[in-house]
Amino acid sequence: MLTVSDLMLSPLFSTVRLAAGKSGLSNNVLYIGFLDWEDSEQIPQYFNAGEIVITTLLKAKDDRQKAENYLKALIINNSSAILIKDIYYKEISKEIEEFAEEKHVPIFFFSDVYIDDMIHEVKKQLEIDSESANYESVLDDIFNRPKMSADELRPLIGQINPYFYRKAFISVYVSDDDKKCSGRINSLYEYIHNNRNLLENIKREGLHTVYSRLIYKRGILIIISFDSDENVKIEEYERALLKRFLADNNFKHTRIGVGCGYSEREFSFAVRNSIFANVNCIINDKPFLCFDESDSDYSMFAAANEGSVQRWCKKTETALLSPAAKHIPLLETVLTLARCGGNVEQASNILCQHKNTIRYRIERIGEIFDAENNMVLYGRLYFFTRIYLSFPYLKMFFNM
């Protein structure tokens, strides 16, 4: 993960001067921000923990106490580092120096580098770091071990983002209908990366957030952490975030799955649920879905990789496509019946077959499913269909 000291190795930073906070040079850098017009009280709203903040302290150019209030607010907000263009100030007070050292937040001054060049360089380094980061194996572990204890999860969560709050989480998984990560998703990730307002400036009264956005498997995983576990506030934030995504044309024709967790222990459930909800959206042709473990698909999707389930599904698929059934499209009939909720008339209209033909096929399907009555038949038919349709989108997440 990119650190402050890593950034200082860039030739562009060769002339910056460390004024305080040497103990924080190993801080991870997650974002880049520019403090310009915001008031010091607004810093928790517009800046994230782990953010390297560049500023001229323009709004406090004639008021040293106000300038120190800005610096204190940035330090308290767990900025990874503060870089001050020395237009109005060339030094800090002993009090700020000691506070930065105590809180492990480096403060630098610079003069000969353009701010835009510095921002561009940090963004470039963050992109390189994001591409090389070993997030995937950590997320694989979290996805495949949903019963981990909080003690087991804690270091894994820290590897994704050491600045995450631990009270509650929203996980959002965004993809298209491709079974692998497409160029369109890579472009969307770049758009999200370059447009921070998508995830920030959302009404979050009384909430502080820290987030990460990552390319994971065939889509984009966005994890937002909160310093509060108040359901009402977090659900309001969730609705506002979804509303913003759905109103943005860049998200058109995507599938957005959302999961929530209200403790460290539920972090893995939030991630799994967002991915399961995304798959549900694909196979049900929905734009978005908020998912929790009480949904019936949760149990089915979670079981999709079990050996006995895979063997049964493969055996059933083979029977539905067997030579004796080739002249009767039984698999197509099964999928159509599931889509129609078992309604024979609707299925006959879609398949352009007489209702009696569909009823005959159902009898054949009942034999393959070894169903002694209609309740068993439709239960097994529905279970098979959910696994059959979902597994191509789920299998890359499971450790196989």
Q: Which tens digits make up the pLDDT trace of 228-255? A: 988 889 999 999 999 999 999 999 999 9
The reported pTM is 0.71
Mean pLDDT score of the chain: 89
CB atoms inside a 10 Å sphere around CB 81: 28
Which of 26-30, 195-199, 272-276, 384-388 is the least confident region? 195-199
pLDDT of residue 139: 93
Domain map (residue ranges) of the chain: 4-131, 134-302, 306-394
pLDDT (average), residues 202-227? 87
pLDDT of residue 175: 96
Say whether pLDDT at 337 is over 80.
Answer: yes
Supply the CATH classification number for the domain 306-394. Answer: 1.10.10.2840
pLDDT (average), residues 249-273? 94
pLDDT tens-place string over residues 27-37: 888 889 999 88
Supply the CATH classification number for the domain 134-302. Answer: 3.30.70
Say whether pLDDT at 130 is over 70.
Answer: no
pLDDT (average), residues 92-120? 93
Helices (H), the chain: 4-8, 43-46, 64-76, 94-103, 115-132, 135-144, 150-160, 183-194, 231-247, 267-284, 296-303, 307-320, 330-339, 344-351, 355-368, 374-394
pLDDT (average), residues 354-358? 93
pLDDT of residue 293: 55
- Name the amino acid, one letter, at 44: P
pLDDT tens-place string over residues 170-214: 999 999 999 888 888 988 988 887 777 788 778 777 788 888 888
pLDDT grade for 38, boundaries at 50, 70 and 90: confident
Range 4-131 classified under CATH 3.40.1390.20: yes
Length of the chain: 400
pLDDT grade for 151, boundaries at 50, 70 and 90: very high
Residues 6+ apart with CB under 8 A from 222: 171, 172, 173, 174, 192, 199, 211, 212, 213, 214
